[in-house]
Amino acid sequence: MSDDPMVAIGLEVHIQVNTRTKAFCGCPVDAFEPNTAICPTCLGQPGALPAPNREMISGAVKLARALNSETNHISRFARKHYLYPDLPKGYQITQFDEPLAFGGGLTILSAGEKNTIRLRRIHVEEDAAKLIHDEPWIREGRSYVDFNRCGIPLIEVVTEPDLRTGEEAVQFVRRLQILLRWLDISDALPEKGQLRFDANVSVRFHNDEDPVITEIKNLNSFSSLRKSLEFEIRRKIKRYESGSTDTAETVLWDESRRETRTMRSKETLSDYRYIPDPDLPVLRIHDHEVREVEDSLPELPWQARERLVKEYGISVEHADRMVKSPETVSYLDTAVNHGANVHEVIRWMTGELRHLQKQANAAYLSDIVPPETLADLLIAEQEERLTGATIVDIIYTAFVNDVSIDEMKAGYDNGECSSQEDIRDAVDSAIREYTSVVDAITSGDKPGGIDFLIGHVLKKLSGTIDPKRVRSEILARLETVDKDSTDS
Ligand SMILES: [Zn+2]
């Protein structure tokens, strides 16, 4: 065996499922005011009976099938006992030795090679309440609790200790995040607490039989996941080199100090006193239900990646940038099927269009320009009827002024340029019609008003002219208007 220390990292990923109601009661999940979405069931009052949320179960089955995990025909809910202010029942409903699914894997790239990270299990459970201590309005030494989060449905994915570095751990959760959004199981935003991680890490040295495992709890961003793992690995190596002993413990990551600190010595499973939940029946999932889910699965991100590389002959890196969502893949497919060059489409999707999309805060690229229209524009560019700069201009002007791209493009395409006289007439009529806009521009109150005038002129001329020409015509006209008014 080599003298290099062997790092082994396993992850527990907690995912908030996109459901309308909580895991075991009818309380809504999107309440804003603290402690308004609560009921006897999620607060665990005597006599209240939980019932599992169908959407939560079907989300977990869908994820299990996508990750090649075997669904258990019978799984069971269990109570995990611990005493903490965020847990009014004194136990959390989760699954223990009979989880919803087991096995499967998710492939990442380790040093350019495909590496499948094996999964141990996938199960469903409820979230605990939220404790609030660090707000400016809270007096020193006090804590507040919001029970709205109590009972929010979670899926937990547990991996085998197959990851080797903090970087690999981040790659794993990023790929999982894409899959969760792709399948509409979760929005998976770490900043909203919809994706949270616990990590187990051990470092085996050459004479080490049974390396000590450290558990890092409550990580809520990709960067804290990476940094805390890198810190723990370094700490373990230093300890080994200095000859001091390592002990199994649970630690928390302190983002401001960039170090881990001990929370408690690591608890064993028996500390939680798991028992089957007597209030909940066993969870039965039939073969035909699993098959239905399987048949309804769309093309998955890694399948799309492989297809794009094979079908379009693009690089893996380019394909990776396209498989951020099913929408981007379908945008690319549609534009290419419409006759555009695949490399050109990718260049536009990752360049100008993305830039415009961000500027306009649009949800989808197709809100900026439909893929068929982009294809038409790019074909016109290839045939040298339009230049790249004109295309940007057309898309931008059409978007800002709500003019149809097709109309504008038709004008450019046919070379039916409006005469100078037509332009002047259209500009004059716009200036006469919208005096308040003109005032706002000339007084400097709203210089952006010029875009409104340009749009109006373009509409009038059916877009048969370069917007830049209209702009300079309007500016020239406004100068004389300005002069006229100061002269008088
Ligand atoms: Zn409730």
Residue 371 in domain = no
Instruction: Specify whether the CB–CB gap between 77 and 280 falls below 8 A.
Output: yes
Residue 379 in domain = no
**What is the per-residue pLDDT for 3?**
66
**Do residue 267 and residue 323 come from a single domain?**
no
Residue 43 in domain = yes
Domain membership of residue 448 as a residue range: 385-488
State which of 260, 292, 324 marks the end of a domain.
292
Distance in Å, CA 270 to ligand 1 centroid: 29
pLDDT less than 50: residues of the chain: 1, 416, 486-488
Instruction: Specify whether the CB–CB gap between 16 and 152 falls below 8 A.
Output: yes
Distance in Å, CA 131 to ligand 1 centroid: 18
Distance in Å, CA 201 to ligand 1 centroid: 36
Residue 241 in domain = yes
Distance in Å, CA 10 to ligand 1 centroid: 33
> Tell me: the pLDDT tens digits for 433-463?
888 888 888 888 887 788 888 888 877 776 5
Residue 129 backbone phi and psi in degrees, to 5 = -70, 175
**Do residue 207 and residue 320 come from a single domain?**
no
Instruction: Specify whether the CB–CB gap between 301 and 182 falls below 8 A.
Output: yes
Distance in Å, CA 18 to ligand 1 centroid: 16
Of the candidates 480, 393, 388, 468, the one whose C-alpha atom is nearest the C-alpha of residue 423 is: 468
Distance in Å, CA 442 to ligand 1 centroid: 59
| Token digits of residue 368 | 């900026």
Distance in Å, CA 55 to ligand 1 centroid: 16
**What is the per-residue pLDDT for 487?**
47
Instruction: Specify whether the CB–CB gap between 92 and 126 falls below 8 A.
Output: yes
**Do residue 342 and residue 459 come from a single domain?**
no
Distance in Å, CA 150 to ligand 1 centroid: 8
Task: Name the domain count of the chain.
Answer: 3
Of the candidates 254, 252, 236, 232, the one whose C-alpha atom is nearest the C-alpha of residue 244 is: 236
Residue 104 in domain = yes
**Do residue 356 and residue 400 come from a single domain?**
no
Widest distance between CA atoms in the chain: 96
**What is the per-residue pLDDT for 414?**
53
**What is the per-residue pLDDT for 401?**
72
**Do residue 18 and residue 44 come from a single domain?**
yes
**Do residue 414 and residue 468 come from a single domain?**
yes
Residue 193 in domain = yes
**What is the per-residue pLDDT for 39?**
97
Instruction: Specify whether the CB–CB gap between 60 and 96 falls below 8 A.
Output: no
Distance in Å, CA 257 to ligand 1 centroid: 38
Contacts of 153 (CB under 8 A, 6+ apart): 16, 17, 19, 22, 23, 29, 53, 55, 56, 124, 126, 127
Which residues lie at CB < 5 A from ion ligand 1? 25, 27, 39, 41-42
Distance in Å, CA 50 to ligand 1 centroid: 9
Dihedral sign, Cα of residue 108, residue 110, residue 116, residue 120 = negative
Residue 375 in domain = no
**Do residue 276 and residue 327 come from a single domain?**
no
**Do residue 345 and residue 265 come from a single domain?**
no
